Chains A and B, each alone.
Chain A
Amino acid sequence: MLFFSYFKELVGKEVTVELKNDLAIRGILHSVDQYLNIKLENIRVVDQDKYPHMLSVRNCFIRGSVVRYVQLPPDGVDIDILHDATRREARGP
């Protein structure tokens, strides 16, 4: 549940979600669930010429299983905290 907890901390921040089909969408993280399904608001498609159909869409829901990467805002990441959290997660209960 590490990344679920981590992404919950990022709600309200701008992220870029890159899907496995190469589509990249930038938007404000509205919410995330335990399957890492992602709802974004005020989205913009990163490569708009390639994917013009989504120009006007304001909000979208992205299935967690099709996400390849989530690009985080540089000021949204505390590397030390994330480091500690992943180590604790790896050690188990």
Chain B
Amino acid sequence: MRFAVTRACGGGGGRARVGALYIGGCTTAPIETPSLLISTRKGLPTFVSRDHLATLPTPDSLLLHVSPLHFLDCPSSKTISNIGGLHRMLGLHEHFFVAAPRDSLESLPESEGTNKLGASFETPCGRRLVIKPSAYVEKIASLKPNLWASMADEVPAWVSEKRNKTSVDRTLRWLDECLALDPASGKTMLGVVVGGSNIEERKHCAIEVATRNVPGFWIGGFGLGENVEERSALLNAVTDNLPEEKVRFISGLSLPEEVLQGVASGIDLFDSTYIYHLTLGGFALIFPFKILDHNNLDFQLDDTVGDRTKINLRATIYRKDTTPIVANCSCFTCQNHTRAYINHLLNVHEMLAHILLEIHNTHHYLGFFRAMREAIKGGKFDLFRHRFIESRRIHLTSAVLCS
């Protein structure tokens, strides 16, 4: 793996940057950042099988997030090793897996159970799972992801100062433990930065982690109840103290506005649950992201139900809508099926609805990231961000005026 910043937005203190992530293997073209880590469950997307995954834009769609916690029960580490690790086990040989325990869906950091021995997570089985660095590293060794985050003690925004400080010390200690246990001595490790909602702690943690010899960083502890207004300052406190040339991942920033916020602070890669939640809810993304193309943006409400971000395909107005989710979208779903058909599938509780939606939503969100990169390259990221947010506010304003 190699990472290089290819374009910094520069000027006016902008921290947004475009990077190139060379993932090796047969893939020679780099993955441009900022980009998205596709969420997985036991290594595979929730609904999109490998053959449909291959129809999504490449190389962007080669980046997958995986949680080692999904594999604690089975298969055994020995079996995973025998099979040959994640890539062989999942039939995704060309893909790039980034492992981090937290997946914001199933494996949620559960700070009360975390103690000096290990990190605690809520799991779908209901039970709390406490995992020690040694067990974690062992699992990682069998899975062989391309990159993996060290273990962290992620705490929500409302914990005491003392608890927050403990989380930083503990996270640093676990980072060093993982480094020591790692047979590759951290060559594929991402140092995790925490610090909660305390600017000083964030800064302190970032400075410390930056001294370790790791190829990149995973920024934890966000999306756990912090104030959106405070968030930028906290993010900047981290990114300002990390080396420019190394890659930065983050979890917990899912929505487009949150991603924009993260990009503005210099984050490169995002583990987002947005697509998952949209898909399960029967929503399809429709928001336009080529918003720099127009000089005069026209944000009149059209007749779609809901906001201009997404449509709820369960709504009866789509019963006879024979148009694709988004006109001219080149995804499998839009090329083959109509809103009416997906509406029907949702009404009869068919899994195919979610498969088609996950394909489209992933395709669409990857397009959003691409548009962001174009904006950064053109030196227009701030304008892009401003227009995007305004376009969603205008809809709400109009709705208020109409009522």
Partners in one complex: no
| Chain B contact residues, CB within 8 Å of chain A | none
